[in-house]
Amino acid sequence: MDTADEDVVLEELRKSIFLWEENKSIIEDLNRIDNLPEKFVIQNEKLMKYCDLRIAYNTMIIKSMIENEEQYFQEVTRIGNEIDKVLEEFNK
């Protein structure tokens, strides 16, 4: 990958982490609603887990790119598999 292209990818990954953090903040605000139905509480827990996994996933990719190391490949794959499991839960 060209260095300029890599810089663009890194910047986009950093932006996405910021946006996932914003999503977590929104979910936390929603959780403060009085008498929030249980189904929404459960859904919000899944959404929080999903956001945390996306943050971890992007963080590991950034780390891998900056350090130019493939040692993070297994961790990225593991987190990706966890993301898939959470997405499957949403589709149930």
Which pairs with CB-CB distance under 8 Å and at least 24 residues apart come from 3-10? 6/65, 9/65, 10/62, 10/65, 10/66
- The sign of the torsion formed by the CA atoms of 51, 71, 2, 84 equals negative
Which residue, chain included where needed, has tokens 């990818």? 9
Domain ranges of the chain: 3-90
For 21-69, the pLDDT digits (tens) are 999 999 999 999 999 999 999 999 999 999 999 999 999 999 999 987 7
pLDDT of residue 57: 97
